[in-house]
Amino acid sequence: MSLHVVVEADGGSRGNPGPAGYGAVVREAATGEILLERYDSLGIATNNVAEYSGLIAGLRAAAELNADRVDVRMDSKLVIEQMCGRWQIKNAGLRPLAAEAAALVGKFGEVTFDWIPRDRNKAADALANRAMDEAAGKRVPDVTPEPAAPAKPRSWAPPSLEHATRIILVRHGSTSLTSQGRYSGRGDVPLTDEGEAQAMAAAGRVAGISRDVAAVLSSPLSRCTRTAELIAAEVGGVPVTVLDDLIECDFGAWEARTFAEVQETWPDEMTAWLESTSVAPPGGESFQAVAKRVRAAMATVLSAYPGKTVVLVSHVSPIKLILRDALAAGDAFLHRLFLDAAGVSTMDVWPDGNIAVRSVNETAHLR
């Protein structure tokens, strides 16, 4: 006898990334009767990671019941669209979760995915919040709680360092385009001999900050992966992992040209680009688009390595955008900050969202 069930799943994060949890409810399709419930906390994670975790838990529960048909209902548009194949999974940190969910889907005769409004997903949402509450040591209320007291102002003094994730940002060493002051975006230009020496010096500086490095993550372009390899070797041989979202801005038609050349040929486009992060170079990518994927990369890092030290080897634009967000600065910051080849910047990020930027563009190791 076949069993047709409905899986309602949800996940949440208080901070994104922050303390996270998921919930899943499996109902008999015909009657709406609850057959199984699943919920758990995830430590520090993003909303998207938590939502995928809820989906996986729900599918596993349906498999335990030997269900043949499964209707998945979630209020996460991202998860639903990605599982249906209509949206690409650009965040590398979500791909393993999506693959696990897809493997579970293959165990059933038929699976459908439908988006529902949040107010129709209250049961799964309540379980996700229960998981987060219990992880925080709170009593799960039996009645609607009183409104929370206003949050206390944050102190300028950060909490204990043992809870922070340390992010060490390193720009790659020099290339032939770097030395000529030319826009260098998606072109895969290798390090020069000088760039190799700079990368080795940066590796020594990173080791001076911390030899207990959990991961070295890099843009896929060779000028970064080579810099990352030298750093990884210096801090104990941890593997280099490519994170596609750390790639440089696509400068389109401006690639390999100097500022002066661009201003002469595209004066109006250059003015518009300098005035707004929503404007892209002809055939290229806007800083707003870069910022979106860089934030996704940071969320992946903070979710995967809470409380650890992680090195990110990237380019001028992604590093500037990370620092802009960390310092809560305006867009003018992007055109006022200079980042040297093989410069090193360091910041600490706490689970509650507090950030301390400790250094920007260190270059003493290059002298």
Which residues have a catalytic role annotated?
172, 248
Tokens of 349: 């990020």
236: left (phi over 0), alpha (psi -120 to 50) or beta: left
Picking from 307, 340, 321, 25, the residue whose alpha carbon sits closest to that of residue 178 is: 340
Q: Rounded to the nearest 10 degrees, how much is the dihedral formed by the CA atoms of 141, 147, 150, 154?
A: 30
Distance between CA atoms of residues 302 and 17, nearest Å = 7
CA distances from residue 316 to 161, 192, 268, 304, 342 in whole angstroms, order as listed? 27, 17, 23, 24, 10
**Sole residue written with tokens 């290339």:** 175
Rounded-to-5 percentages of helix, strand, coil across the chain: 40, 25, 35
SS (H, E, C) 30-95: CCCCEEEEEEEEEEEECHHHHHHHHHHHHHHHHHHCCCCEEEEEECCHHHHHHHCCCCCCCCCCCH
